[in-house]
Structures are given as C-alpha cells and as structure tokens.
Structure 1
C-alpha cells in the first residue's frame, strides 16, 4: 500500500475487468449531507447489489419514492452520468437545487429486460428540496429521472445476459411440418439478485417484442407465479418446484412438459442454478408435471448439434476436406464429388446432419450440391450468378436447422439473398425490409429464426441481425422474408468475418475506429459481454464456430488454418487451406 501521494477521486463506473467479483454495498445519506453528496450517493446506490434499491430510496422524498419505478428501464451510459454543478430552483418558481445528469447512451434495457442499442445523448436532471427530518432540515431528491442510470462497466458487473427459450412458430408452408425447435431470446437480469426467480418471471412474461412475431410460448396467456411466491430455489437434489397461478390449472400433460422444457433450458444458462429437474404445480399445490434435464432434449430440441463429428475446410487442392472436431488429426477429403477435386471450390457449407454439402465454384458463379455419404454425380448448379468479377459472385452458403440453404449473390447489378427449400429446387429471392447496402456474407442460426448478415455500404461493412419470417398457405411453399434488421457490434467500424457461436451469441472479427483487428464475442441484441475479447491472431480472414460452445473456434489466418481449444492458445492445424466451417 502506498504511504504517500495525493488522494484522487474515482468515479463509480471506473472498475477493472475483474469487476464481476466485486460487490458494492450502498450507504445511507449522512447527517447534514449537502445536495451534491445526496446526488452522488443516490447515483452510487444505483450501482449496488441492493435487491429492491431500498438504500437508493433513502435519498428520495416519500412522494418521489412512491412514484419511482426502477424496473421501467435501465439506461446504460459510456462512462456513467456526469452531474455538473447544481443550480438554485428549476426556473419554474420553485425553490431547492437542480442538478443536470448528462452522458452518451450506449443502450437501454426496457421493462421486458431486452437490450436495445442507443447512442443518443442523455440529458436528464434531479431536483432536491429540504424536508423535515429527525435532525432538522435535510436535503432529499423530489424529482428523479425514470428508471436506473449507470455506466457501462457497472452494467456489465451487475447485469447478466440470460437466454429465455420459446418455440419457433410453426410454419404453414410446405417445409414447416414436424416439431419446431426452441429459440434463444436474450434478456438482462441482475445476476446477484435471485437470478433463478427473475429468470422464471422473465420467461413467464413471454418473448421480447423483437422476437415475438416468430416465436411462441406454451404457457397460457396470463400465467405467472402463484400469488405470494417470493423466491424459487432448487432443493438438495436439484429439483425446482414452481407454483403457478390458476391460468395453468387446466393444462394437459403434453403441453405441460413443453412448458417445463422451456423453463429447464432457460435455467441451464444460469450455470450456478444447479437445476436438474422442474416440477410445475397448480395453484392448489397439486402436480402438473415433472421434467428432468435428461428428458428435456427429447421434448424440445434447441436445433444445435451436441457434438458435430467434423470441422471442414477447403484444402490447397480446392477440395472439401474434414477433420475430427474432438482431436487434432490431418484433414482428409470428404466422400463424394466435392472431395474429389473435380470441381474446384472456394467455399462450402455442410448440412447440420453432415450428409450433404453445398460448394461454391472457384470463380464464385456456381453453387453445387453434393452428397457426403455416397459418390453420386454433382449435376447442374443449383444457383448461378451473373457477376462479372470473381470477387463478387456467391457468398459462402449457410444451412439452417430446418434443412434449408441460404446464399447471397453479390452481383453488383442484381444483389440478392436466395433461399433454397431443403437445399434444392428453384432458388427463391428473399425480401429484406430496410436493407441499406449489399450483403457480403450470410449465416443463419440453427433455429432458422434469425439471420446474421455482413452488409457493405460506402466501403464499410457492418454486422446486422434480422428475423426470418415464414408465411403462406398450408401445403404451399412458404413466403420467406427478413424483417427487423438491427445492428450488432456497433463499436466496430469494420466487421470482416462472423459466425454463430451459441444460441444467441456470435464471434466477430473486425476493428474499431483507428484500432487494429480483433476478435470478440457479441450477443445478437448488440450487447458485448464482459471479457468478450479473444486471444490475438494475425490477419484473420474467416472464422468458424459451433453452436456447441464446447467446440474450439477455427480460423483462416496468416498462419494457415488454426484452432483455439478451450483454455489454450491458437494452434496451427494446416499451413495451406481456407474457408473453415462447422456444420451449418
């Protein structure tokens, strides 16, 4: 500890990267606290782990406390709110002191717990007046901005991204039959304030507004926890009992197990929850159903392969080759024509069942479909591009978990996104609402509900996420469209590569303004988890990740094809090769 030197004030939002282990305890107002001390104490209390913001309310008048709802929204600023110097009154003939709260917004978290990017200026104020207290007159805040405001680093310390799970809406089109998978819907909760109960409540509230058009819940409308239920916790055997209100009383066994599956998958993202089994109860305490973690996957799939057998890439002979996902073996050509070298390839995508692959020709103008389990001929191209330059043409294709194939044609005269029903037949152009730029790359999530696009405009490429919407009459080919585009990785001025890396997470390669290339994880809602930056790697051109987060990242870099096993550094697999992919 230093024993000399000047004292320096430290802003509450300026904490080290290890802040996830730091707990902050709010302090009550001091006697004879000045207006400046009241304002600063209130803002610091907002960054504490106080469950109901009880300490923060001590800085408010009784009337202001009754009217203040901290759950209505959370405003995240770059560096926390600046208070400036206070002024007397507020210009409206009232006495007291008024302090401005200013800053630059990063995002807001709404009442649904949904994270929404927002880079507007923040301009609010707090007003204080003197109240009668036990020791005479004391300053308290009588007007306060809505919700909670804090800095980005405090937000990352306090809040935790959790995936709620809902069923993909059943398609009415020809390829929409069968059991639909679960879709991750990321929300933010306070990680130390009863996360199990908060996650269950958020799940029961239903999907967020952005996702609700393409997903649904099996919980009946109006289902909530039984009145009087304050907290939920698993017992010593990991069983969580959840009492519900009367809305769930008439539910049958099959639907109940689907409800329990939604809850189990949601709670699995809470690594410390220890939930192994869920029992849902009626209002009178009788059992609705019980579902174990082991049985949940058979009730509702998350559309993610638990363990892909292989990783794939294009070797120096322009063949599609494979290597075991779980160990470091030399790549070998895949079975079938795409592995023979007869049709030189520049990129490929392997179906999630690892039985088919779509390969793009070396000139980028033709897409072929080939089997990985037989030696049949390639046949004619499924898609042709009229692009004049080889730098344009077709992007790397992408398979969703429904068995459909997606590819972008980057022809300068007619750029378009194409969809092939079950990877075959006539390619269908996909309408994209509010697309501003040309698609450079496409990756569809395993659930088939969300699509990640690299969009180029004015020489810069950004990452955007959209909803995949399917409409149409039953038995007919569905009408496919992409809506609700929103930008992810906004802190990166240029994004050069990306891949889905979990239910709601992507890994991206890019650079910030004036910065060097970096790799990091981002959430599909645009948020960036703390500690999301990955070990450095020189000249990354392509990146591949599995939705099974235990599988290593694979990249094409200046060092060749490299892998990043968990807890290790990048390791070279082969010196020559390109276009690494996992199934999907």
Structure 2
C-alpha cells in the first residue's frame, strides 16, 4: 500500500515519509492544506496509497441528509485530531457517546448508504430519517488485533434527526445514532493503518513470538501518539487474547509510558529513550532487560532511523536499563546459517542447491541414506541444525530421520501408515526449532504426530475444532507456538492456524495439543500449498472464488498483504520460503523447480524436482 506499508521480509512494518493530498466527496474544499506537494482530488477507497492523506470537511449550512451521511463516512477515513470534523456531523449527545477507537469494521469497499424509500416525499417535513449501510464485511480490528472473517453481508445504519442550528435559527440534519467505532473500506483502512509485529516470550522459553497488530500510519487521532509511541503502548497492553495462553510478558500490571508521552524518536546515535510510568519504574534488572528486548525487537523495523539501542527510564527520567540490538538478537529465533534449498530430484533422491544470486546453480546429493539411493524419497524436511533431515518415503508409508552430512545406513522408520492408498498416508513432515511433526491421513485412523527432538516414540497430538476435516498438510512455525494446517472437507481445502499448547501433567508427562483453529485465508476459496515466510507471515498457493490460481503472501491474522500478489506461475504444486528476506521464494510448477528473483520474474533452477524446503 505504498512506502509506509512494509518492506516484505524485514519483520512486519517499515516506516516511510508521506506526501499528502486532499480529498472531499460531495463537499468542496479542504479543511486544511499541507505545506508542500501536489493537491489532487482523491476518492476514498479507490486505492490503498499511504502517500495520500484525506482531510475531513465539515457540513455546510443547510446540508441535505445524503450530504450529512456521505460527509460523515468520508470524515471517518481521515486523520483529523479526535475526529473533530466527523463529530460535527453528529448531535451533541451522539458526539459524547461515539468512540471511534472502540472498534474498526473493515469492508471490501466503503460502506454504501441507502436513503429511506420515502425520503423524496418526506425529506423536507420529517424530523427523523434512517439510512441503511451495507457492504461486504471482511474483518474487525479490536485492541489493534485484526480478525478476518469469511466475507459476509454487513448491515448498519445512521439515524438522522433535524435539530436547531448553531445560531438557534432554522434546522440542520445531524446523526443521532451511528455504528460502533469506525466503518472503513479496505483500501481506506490500509491507507490509515500500518501492520506491526509485537514480540512476547514463548512460555517457559528464551525466545520470542510475533503478535501481529495494526496501528495508525501517522499520528493517532484519539491518543495523539506517533506510530512508535502507539506501538510501545500496544506492547504494554499485552498479547492478543488468542496468543495469551502460550506466551509470557514481564511487564507489571498497569505498566506503560509515562503520562503525556506521545512521541518517541531515536536520537542521532539511534538510541531510543522510553520513559515509563510508576508501575514500571521499579522492576529488577533482569526483568527490565526482558522488557527492553521486547521493545527493541518490536521497534527495530518501525522507527526511522532504525533503533540500535533502547534505554528504559524511570518516571523521573533516570535510566532503568539499557539494551543493544546485538543483545536483543540473542533472544530472537536463530536463523539457520545456510541459504541452501533442499528438494527431491527426478531419481527420488534428496538433493541440495544453493539459493545464491548467481544465475547458474550447482546441485549435489546430500550424504546419507536420503541422498545415496537407499530410500526412494517422497517429501523432506530439514532440521534447523542442518545436520538431520526427515523424509517420508515415496509410497507415503514410512517416516525416517537420518543424517544428511555423514554416511550411515537407513534407520528403522519412526512411524508407518496403514492406509491402503498413497494419498491417504503420511503428509510431508515439518520441523519446529526442536521437534518433528507429521500427519497420518489414514481414514481409519487419522492422527497428528509429534516426535520430541525428532526421535523416539510418536506422541499423538489432539487437534480441537477439525469438525470432520482432514489434515492434508501442515507447517509448524519456527517458534513452535503456531501451526498452519491445510484442511480438506467436502472437496475443498481451507487454511487454518492453530495454537500449540504444551502442558506438564502430574508425573512430568508433557501433553501437547493444537487448539482454537482460526481461519487464516477466509477470502481464498481454496488453498493448495503453503510455507512460513516470516514470524507472522505465510506464502500460500490458492485462489479466490471465480479467480485463477495465484501465489501470494498473507498474514497469520488473515489480512491479505496489498502488494502480496506475486508474478503468475502455472500449476504450482509446492512452495518454500524462509524468514530470511534475502532468500528467494522457491516453487514447483510446470516449469520445474523455480525461484523468484527480486524485481524480476520466476526463473527455472532445476527442470524436474519436487518437495522444495528451506531448513527449519
């Protein structure tokens, strides 16, 4: 959605500088003007360009009811402080009660308003009119958290009344009842809001988990906070409810920014000083360091210039603790040190190719039983250590784990499927930072299996909310907290995200379950392949209703990235990505094993290959 939207790969958000324009719908003129830049007429919701700024315009004297409705809907899309101009369309009582920050309702397009059927006849005489609002609902945003829904019909209303004008003479139409919060078309939402990853600690772990949220692109109209201060405040509010059971945060109850702080900017040494309130001013050194780690990882790609050091301050502005970017990196999930892509070659052997920027590619077989022909390999997954891999045999029956850096005999399988058909046997395996996962699709005994550290006995994992659907494939996030599940039911494939919960039972036994499945791509009619592509982002192969197959990025909260559509590719059957933004996207199509080169099109790497994966 423009310069401020994001740079894909570097976390979830990147700041830029806006060039402002002015817009007014049905009402002429601008409430205020920018100091520089071109002025152009802009219709809201006709393109998510973050460099365009909409300025609200107050109602004119004697405005017709339809002008009041249109003006208010337009004013909701602006950055007007406290939404003061939007409130001029409301009665005094409704202005007091309206809370634009309580909820944001996102529609595919700006809401359509429909006048009462009797308006033409009674508009001059009636003292009350109700306009119906309609559109296609795709998401709501509550406490910064975006929740996508299967597109459904939205129904709202604006009730207008005639009241005495400001001078006590005549009557003016004003809105006496409005929908809760803001109602925006998707492009207006994306023009005004910026996606950011907050970070919290994985429960009981020394690594962090991304919690995606949306904040205002510019100064928040209600709090008057700039984007950095908004993000810090949102971090203090705690994780999304969905994520809360599997993450921890050391922030004391009531902790937050010092009262009155609305702007945070790194100094010329790229140090960001964050003054805290009294509730956070007396934490110990270890707790302060963990708080600072969360702040630095959250802000590193949001502020401009990039934050290299965070100093948390007490309410009296004295230093509480200091943390550098290098220190914070120690707690971020370690990325594999290899840029290699692994795949299965035409002879059903596991091979590796360097995903370098060179035009030529060098392919070699991995060592051990997966590369020397001892096993007819079907699908593969590589542990983050780069020393071991998991492979499901070509017939889908058996799962093995073996070294790929040394020669050894083929070990016994960890598990075997008893399904008679290949398509009903084991799915492709998946590693998180420690454990190995695979789904057995046997109709007689469907199950999700976990192998601690990729070895030993299989642990069957309960998955809540399948509702009769079958797990066709799954990918576990590197942090081990979330699982992306490709589910099939009634001939359709859908993508859902589940939360992985681990509970220690009496006697020390660990119970693992996948719960609270959430639709990750409700606007896609079908999804056929997926891969994690960052801490809160997936790359998927799918299509919308009536559309064609496409490869695109989506967020785990279900929001479609505006520039996430990628160049077309024929009949894609698999896709592989990594959290490292420098690495290529790799896919399998009619053209073979292909890679997507930045600012170019897909290029063939290997004429015939399958099951591409990056480590992890």
TM norm. shorter chain > 0.5 = yes
Does 2:215 correspond to 1:185? no
Residue of structure 1 in register with 2:35 after alignment: none
Does 2:384 correspond to 1:352? yes
Deviates more, 1:265-274 or 1:527-536: 265-274
Q: Secondary structure at the match of 1:199?
A: helix
Unaligned runs of 5+ in 1: 1-6, 171-178
| C-alpha displacement of 1:12 | 4.3
| C-alpha displacement of 1:342 | 1.3
Q: Secondary structure at the match of 1:43?
A: helix
Structure-2 separation of matches of 1:135 and 1:330: 82
Residue of structure 2 in register with 1:77 after alignment: 107
Count matched residues: 563
Structure-1 separation of matches of 2:600 and 2:334: 24
| C-alpha displacement of 1:135 | 7.6
Match for residue 601 of structure 2 among 545, 569, 572:
569
Structure-2 separation of matches of 1:307 and 1:68: 52
Change (3 A) 1:166 1:528: same
Structure-1 separation of matches of 2:509 and 2:411: 24
Structure-2 separation of matches of 1:322 and 1:210: 38
Structure-1 separation of matches of 2:56 and 2:307: 31
Residue of structure 2 in register with 1:176 after alignment: none
Structure-2 separation of matches of 1:545 and 1:246: 44
Matches within 5 A, 1:169-318: 169-170=203-204, 179-193=205-219, 194-270=226-302, 272=304, 274-298=306-330, 300-301=331-332, 303-305=333-335, 307-318=337-348
Q: Secondary structure at the match of 2:130?
A: strand
Tell me, yes or no, if the aligned pair for 1:494 and 1:511 is still in contact at 8 Å. yes
Does 2:447 correspond to 1:416? yes
| C-alpha displacement of 1:307 | 4.7
Unaligned runs of 5+ in 2: 1-24, 28-40, 220-225
Tell me, yes or no, if the aligned pair for 2:278 and 2:314 is still in contact at 8 Å. yes
Deviates more, 1:33-42 or 1:55-64: 55-64
Residue of structure 1 in register with 2:423 after alignment: 391
Q: TM-score, normalised by structure 2?
A: 0.88
Matches within 5 A, 1:433-472: 433-436=464-467, 437-472=469-504
Tell me, yes or no, if the aligned pair for 1:13 and 1:79 is still in contact at 8 Å. no
Tell me, yes or no, if the aligned pair for 2:550 and 2:566 is still in contact at 8 Å. yes
Q: Secondary structure at the match of 2:82?
A: coil
Tell me, yes or no, if the aligned pair for 1:13 and 1:152 is still in contact at 8 Å. no
Tell me, yes or no, if the aligned pair for 2:107 and 2:185 is still in contact at 8 Å. yes
Structure-2 separation of matches of 1:392 and 1:480: 24
Residue of structure 2 in register with 1:428 after alignment: 459
Tell me, yes or no, if the aligned pair for 1:83 and 1:102 is still in contact at 8 Å. yes
Deviates more, 1:476-485 or 1:197-206: 476-485
Does 2:544 correspond to 1:518? no
Q: Secondary structure at the match of 1:532?
A: strand
Tell me, yes or no, if the aligned pair for 2:336 and 2:385 is still in contact at 8 Å. no
Change (3 A) 1:118 1:225: farther
Deviates more, 1:128-137 or 1:376-385: 128-137
1:144-174 deviation digits (Å, cap 9, x = unpaired)? 211000111211222121111000111xxxx
Structure-1 separation of matches of 2:26 and 2:63: 21
Matches within 5 A, 1:481-496: 481-496=513-528
> What is the root-mean-square deviation of aligned Cα atoms in Å?
2.2
Match for residue 592 of structure 2 among 560, 574, 582:
560
Structure-2 separation of matches of 1:397 and 1:296: 31
Structure-1 separation of matches of 2:383 and 2:86: 53
Q: Secondary structure at the match of 2:242?
A: coil
Structure-2 separation of matches of 1:273 and 1:477: 48
1:155-200 deviation digits (Å, cap 9, x = unpaired)? 1222121111000111xxxxxxxx4311001111111222111111
| C-alpha displacement of 1:396 | 0.8
Structure-1 separation of matches of 2:80 and 2:385: 48
Tell me, yes or no, if the aligned pair for 2:151 and 2:522 is still in contact at 8 Å. no
Change (3 A) 1:273 1:151: farther
Deviates more, 1:282-291 or 1:451-460: 282-291
Change (3 A) 1:166 1:83: same
Change (3 A) 1:16 1:471: same
Change (3 A) 1:28 1:571: same
1:294-347 deviation digits (Å, cap 9, x = unpaired)? 22112x22x251653311001112111112233442211112221111111011
Q: Secondary structure at the match of 1:213?
A: helix
Tell me, yes or no, if the aligned pair for 1:304 and 1:446 is still in contact at 8 Å. no
Change (3 A) 1:77 1:363: same
Does 2:73 correspond to 1:39? no
Does 2:166 correspond to 1:133? yes
Residue of structure 1 in register with 2:47 after alignment: 16
Residue of structure 2 in register with 1:153 after alignment: 187
| C-alpha displacement of 1:374 | 2.2
Tell me, yes or no, if the aligned pair for 1:330 and 1:573 is still in contact at 8 Å. no
1:200-254 deviation digits (Å, cap 9, x = unpaired)? 1110000011110111112112111111222222222222111111121221112
Structure-1 separation of matches of 2:564 and 2:485: 20
Residue of structure 1 in register with 2:138 after alignment: 106
Does 2:400 correspond to 1:368? yes
Q: Secondary structure at the match of 2:385?
A: coil
Tell me, yes or no, if the aligned pair for 1:233 and 1:240 is still in contact at 8 Å. yes
Structure-2 separation of matches of 1:405 and 1:113: 30
| C-alpha displacement of 1:292 | 1.7
